[in-house]
Structure 1
Amino acid sequence: MSGLNLTVRVHPVVLFQVVDAYERRNADSHRVIGTLLGSVDKGVVEVTNCFCVPHKEHDDQVEAELSYALDLYDLNRKVNPNENVVGWWATGNEVTNHSSVIHEYYARECNNPVHLTVDTSLQGGRMGLRAYVCIQLGVPGGKTGCMFTPIPVEVTCYEPETFGLKLLQKTVGVAPPHRPKTVSPMLDLAQISEASNKLQGLLELILKYVEDVIAHKQPPDNAVGRQLLDLINSVPHMSHEQFTQMFNANVRDLLMVITLSQLIKTQLQLNEKLTFLPTN
């Protein structure tokens, strides 16, 4: 498959590891590189993990600890056997002269490696994310070269990652002296309440859009209309009484699980205190 037909999907844990490696870099290092791990399926490169590779860049050469990279990859394979080398990453907002040399090494480790650049300098007020593939150029029997060509890249999340990001967002915009060092997960009922309020706000936004379209205050969008139609068709057909009965049953089950967990927790704490009581 041609490298230009690839699409890169990056998970948030990869971005966190890149930023962490950049913050822990040596004082004389201006750029950090590393290996991307993940899988390739039907033209989609899904990057789920990564690690940093110590290196030094000089004017005419690049020194990288490849043995360290191989050992770390072997250790990761014992824990995550489904993660393979899919490319490499580097901090910065552009491809440098040494990138082709590093890319040649990863071209021997996997087919069509992708190069991911993460702009940790936050130019433009955001962390830029770009993905490239290396395309060979030249004529038969003559000089050859390569060119880094951009390919689509997007950030994707598993459900646990989405939940973790929502917790992290609670500390955004808070001044450092008042910023909490830890954020505890909310109780189940609090999550239901917050999700219900958010759902109500989204429904009000959709209703306002539909009313504006009907009143010719806003031009209609066919893509939005198809998504709304799919959303309506996905809602189960049930009466208000059936929905209320189903919701109440789920709430009762949730309250029963919470009560049992609290009883078990209390019993364990009581058992621990009785164990340490003196036997005299």
Structure 2
Amino acid sequence: MPSETSVTKVIVHPLVLLSVVDHFNRMGKIGNQKRVVGVLLGCWRAKGVLDVSNSFAVPFDEDDKDKSVWFLDHDYLENMYGMFKKVNARERVVGWYHTGPKLCQNDIAINELIRRYCPNSVLVIIDAKPKDLGLPTEAYIAVEEVHDDGSPTSKTFEHVPSEIGAEEAEEVGVEHLLRDIKDTTVGSLSQKITNQLLGLKGLNSQLREIKNYLLKVDNGQLPVNHQIVYQLQDILNLLSDLAQENFTDTQYVKMNGKEKEKDDRDGEKEEKKKKLGEREL
């Protein structure tokens, strides 16, 4: 894939999640409680969508006190990739993963090493021990950051949307794995509430990040990035004006309209049931 093509979305397959969790648990059993690192394999779809369908672990170690001191066995990486390529030539190195659960100081340096095998290297942080509901994946790409003070550009990570996706065969396998633990009593109402809760948690997390960033800029810990400020201004411009008198009335009309649509649908269902009953008689 050309290096100038931007990544718009990363799709992670269930097999990758299972492999990463297995890697993390195996290292934990021998006393290694650090993050684990591996290589992601996959292919590019249309419009910059990255399909991550496979992965393998790579020997990795780092100094807890000095994160600039680290080791990644790239000879092992090349040998493993050579064997994977014999099995499936379509899957190529598309990036790397670690179990974080957050970005680390030396991730840019590690990413530069992986870029030898893939110019568009993507970093996917997979939380092997998630504490909250939601996706356990966060995807990032390295970009050049231009400073307003005239200092040289530096590499930083930019967040990329990610989701969990699967082929039909994988979906069947996942269904079999979840069959014994799936709670069949969970209805659509609880699912909607869970989705709303996840959305609110995500919003709260993003607002906290924005607040912390603005505080650091105000305290002089970070330089002013006008592009970020413009984006924040665009977000504020999209918010509804709560001071308008007709705002509450508009919300009432919207909610009443939804209730009316629901009543109409329920009425249509009852009418169909009556007609079916009459036909049977």
Would the TM-score normalized by the shorter structure come out above 0.5? Answer: yes
Tell me which residue corresponds to 1:35: 39
Change (3 A) 1:91 1:144: same
Does residue 44 (structure 1) correspond to residue 58 (structure 2)? The answer is: no
Among 165, 170, 177, the alignment partner of 1:161 is 170
TM-score, reference length from structure 1: 0.60
CA distance in 2, matches of 1:20, 1:169: 17
- The number of residue pairs the alignment matches comes to 185
- Structure 1, residues 155-186: CA drift from partner, whole Å, max 9, x if none? 11111111111111122169xxxxxxxxxxxx
> Partner amino acid for 1:12?
P
Among 15, 18, 37, the alignment partner of 1:16 is 18
> Based on CA coordinates, which of the two structures has the bigger radius of gyration?
1
Secondary structure in 2 aligned to 1:77?
A: helix
> Partner amino acid for 2:31?
A
Among 132, 139, 150, the alignment partner of 1:131 is 139
CA distance in 2, matches of 1:219, 1:20: 49
Tell me which residue corresponds to 2:228: none
Q: Verify the 8 A CA contact 2:40 2:54 in the aligned structure 1.
A: yes
RMSD (Å) for aligned C-alpha atoms:
2.9
In the TM superposition, what is the alpha-carbon distance from 1:41 to its structure 2 partner?
2.5
What runs of 5+ residues in structure 1 fail to find an aligned partner?
175-200, 203-211, 221-280
* Identity across the alignment (%): 30
Change (3 A) 1:164 1:217: same
What runs of 5+ residues in structure 2 fail to find an aligned partner?
189-255, 265-281
Change (3 A) 1:46 1:214: closer
Change (3 A) 1:45 1:215: closer
CA distance in 2, matches of 1:151, 1:167: 31
Q: Verify the 8 A CA contact 1:55 1:65 in the aligned structure 2.
A: yes
Tell me which residue corresponds to 2:9: 7
Q: Verify the 8 A CA contact 2:135 2:163 in the aligned structure 1.
A: no
Secondary structure in 2 aligned to 1:108?
A: coil
Change (3 A) 1:77 1:216: same
Does residue 216 (structure 1) correspond to residue 260 (structure 2)? The answer is: yes
CA distance in 2, matches of 1:215, 1:94: 43
In the TM superposition, what is the alpha-carbon distance from 1:2 to its structure 2 partner?
5.2
Among 80, 89, 113, the alignment partner of 1:72 is 80
TM-score, reference length from structure 2: 0.59
Secondary structure in 1 aligned to 2:128?
A: coil
In the TM superposition, what is the alpha-carbon distance from 1:219 to its structure 2 partner?
9.4
Among 144, 147, 169, the alignment partner of 2:153 is 144
CA distance in 2, matches of 1:72, 1:5: 25
